[in-house]
Homo-oligomer: A and B are copies of this chain.
């Protein structure tokens, strides 16, 4: 894409109330636009990153046998009464609204209840199980505070998968597979080294739920990390009994701030019980369906990547989710530079390498170099008078300090690796 055509520009200033570094960089880079606290719109560069994250997650959910749906945001009271989730006294994140005839509606903050109700239409026999259903769907959560930028939003797309199993054994087998898929997702997003399986409150039906916590200063969670064992315990269950049951001692753990980038949860029969989702087993006896839920917020993962890898100059995207792999800069406005850069741009496109081409006539060299650092594409290729004197372009990885002069004919090949 030509940067001269991109409608966004990098910004020097961002809203004063923005404290999260990731939000500041995403705003300055033109990835997102702030509508109000906790509500952001996604601009072309941001949407590209988000779509790549979603596609990685989608591939892994499909590999688990997941089937994709999109449920509605608008919700009837009746769906949520059986699980005691309608009353604002029990759930404090509802946005409520109403039809013209004053029928009260809610905007879904999660989808266990509506999906359980939906599945009653389709599950009646043991033959119908197990089933795995997921969506990328916009959740609305009326958070009192929204000070973490894109990490905690009032409106955000969530990937939520729900599992429906015949019995606990079938459930647990899937739960372990889902855990592995989550490891793969965070590895592919570039968060693998900093993300730890974390034991958290399990509710009524399991001793624990499992969170995927990324160690990160801005995090709103507190975990106790055993880096050697590659696991952590959420503060809420970090006590002698839990630590000992897991075979450790309290002193094996270090307190850390972290961002919850994913969680998996055994719901057991809470929802199938309340909403009557049962199946007939091989003997015709009615049994309750065992459920699990599995969430990841793509935009939160995006912001966490920014928090972790950004340097003083800007964002540093991993190749897997970068808006473009290569940022090509034409420095100076000579005909010679323009022609050489145009040729490279064509060659990159021919090689099907995603490229952002800073072809702006009215931007200075410093501005172009600064923008490239801020936007954070993995490879920067600079064509200038000086480089052309040697028939080269300067090639530099965003995450490295060193730049190299590469013969023009070899530039595309180098960036391909």
Give the residue of B35, B42, B74 whose beta carbon is less than 8 angstroms from that of A74: B35
Decide: B7 and A128 in contact? CB cutoff 8 A. Answer: yes
Give the residue of B44, B100, B133 whose beta carbon is less than 8 angstroms from that of A68: B44
Asked if A36 is at the interface (CB within 8 A of a chain B CB), the reply is: yes
Decide: B35 and A99 in contact? CB cutoff 8 A. Answer: no
If A67-B6, A127-B362 touch, whether A74 touches B44 (CB-CB below 8 Å) is no
Report A395 CB to chain B, min CB distance, Å: 28
If A47-B68, A97-B95 touch, whether A155 touches B73 (CB-CB below 8 Å) is yes
User: In the complex, A127→B155 CA distance in Å?
Assistant: 34
Asked if A8 is at the interface (CB within 8 A of a chain B CB), the reply is: yes
If A35-B114, A44-B68 touch, whether A97 touches B97 (CB-CB below 8 Å) is yes
Interface of A is mostly: mixed
In the complex, the chain B residue whose C-beta lies closest to that of A131 is B7
- List residues of chain B with CB within 8 A of the CB of A266: none
Report A290 CB to chain B, min CB distance, Å: 16
Greatest chain B CB density within 10 A among A42, A69, A154, A155 is at A69
Asked if A40 is at the interface (CB within 8 A of a chain B CB), the reply is: yes
Asked if A390 is at the interface (CB within 8 A of a chain B CB), the reply is: no
Decide: B122 and A74 in contact? CB cutoff 8 A. Answer: no
- List residues of chain B with CB within 8 A of the CB of A8: 122
Number of residues in A with C-beta < 8 Å to the partner?
A: 54
If A97-B96, A128-B7 touch, whether A44 touches B73 (CB-CB below 8 Å) is no
- List residues of chain B with CB within 8 A of the CB of A75: 35
Decide: A36 and B97 in contact? CB cutoff 8 A. Answer: no
Asked if A142 is at the interface (CB within 8 A of a chain B CB), the reply is: yes
Report A349 CB to chain B, min CB distance, Å: 14
User: In the complex, A133→B44 CA distance in Å?
Assistant: 9
- List residues of chain B with CB within 8 A of the CB of A5: 65, 67
- The interface bits of chain A over 14-41 (1 if a CB of B lies within 8 angstroms of the residue's CB, else 0) are 0000000000000000100101100111
The oligomer's copy count stands at 2
- List residues of chain B with CB within 8 A of the CB of A415: none
Report A171 CB to chain B, min CB distance, Å: 16
Asked if A119 is at the interface (CB within 8 A of a chain B CB), the reply is: yes
Decide: B41 and A71 in contact? CB cutoff 8 A. Answer: yes
User: In the complex, A87→B249 CA distance in Å?
Assistant: 61
If A97-B107, A142-B99 touch, whether A44 touches B69 (CB-CB below 8 Å) is yes
- List residues of chain B with CB within 8 A of the CB of A362: 127
Q: Which of A133-187 contact B (CB under 8 A)?
A: 133, 138, 140, 142, 144, 154-155
Greatest chain B CB density within 10 A among A39, A41, A72, A99 is at A72
User: In the complex, A97→B42 CA distance in Å?
Assistant: 22
- List residues of chain B with CB within 8 A of the CB of A69: 41-44, 47
In the complex, the chain B residue whose C-beta lies closest to that of A119 is B7
User: In the complex, A40→B40 CA distance in Å?
Assistant: 26
User: In the complex, A76→B41 CA distance in Å?
Assistant: 13
- List residues of chain B with CB within 8 A of the CB of A204: none
Decide: B74 and A140 in contact? CB cutoff 8 A. Answer: yes
Decide: B7 and A100 in contact? CB cutoff 8 A. Answer: no
In the complex, the chain B residue whose C-beta lies closest to that of A138 is B138
If A95-B97, A97-B97, A121-B33 touch, whether A74 touches B41 (CB-CB below 8 Å) is no
- List residues of chain B with CB within 8 A of the CB of A98: 95
If A118-B33, A121-B11 touch, whether A42 touches B67 (CB-CB below 8 Å) is no
In the complex, the chain B residue whose C-beta lies closest to that of A125 is B362
Give the residue of B36, B67, B70, B121 whose beta carbon is less than 8 angstroms from that of A76: B36
- List residues of chain B with CB within 8 A of the CB of A9: 122
User: In the complex, A119→B9 CA distance in Å?
Assistant: 11
User: In the complex, A145→B134 CA distance in Å?
Assistant: 31
Q: Could you show 16 A-B contacts with beta carbons less than 8 Å apart?
A: A6-B67, A7-B67, A9-B122, A11-B121, A36-B76, A40-B72, A41-B69, A41-B70, A44-B69, A47-B69, A74-B95, A74-B154, A95-B97, A95-B105, A96-B97, A100-B144
Known: A5-B67, A7-B67, A9-B122. 14 other contacts (CB 8 A): A7-B123, A7-B131, A7-B133, A35-B71, A35-B75, A36-B76, A42-B69, A47-B68, A72-B155, A73-B138, A74-B95, A95-B98, A107-B107, A138-B138
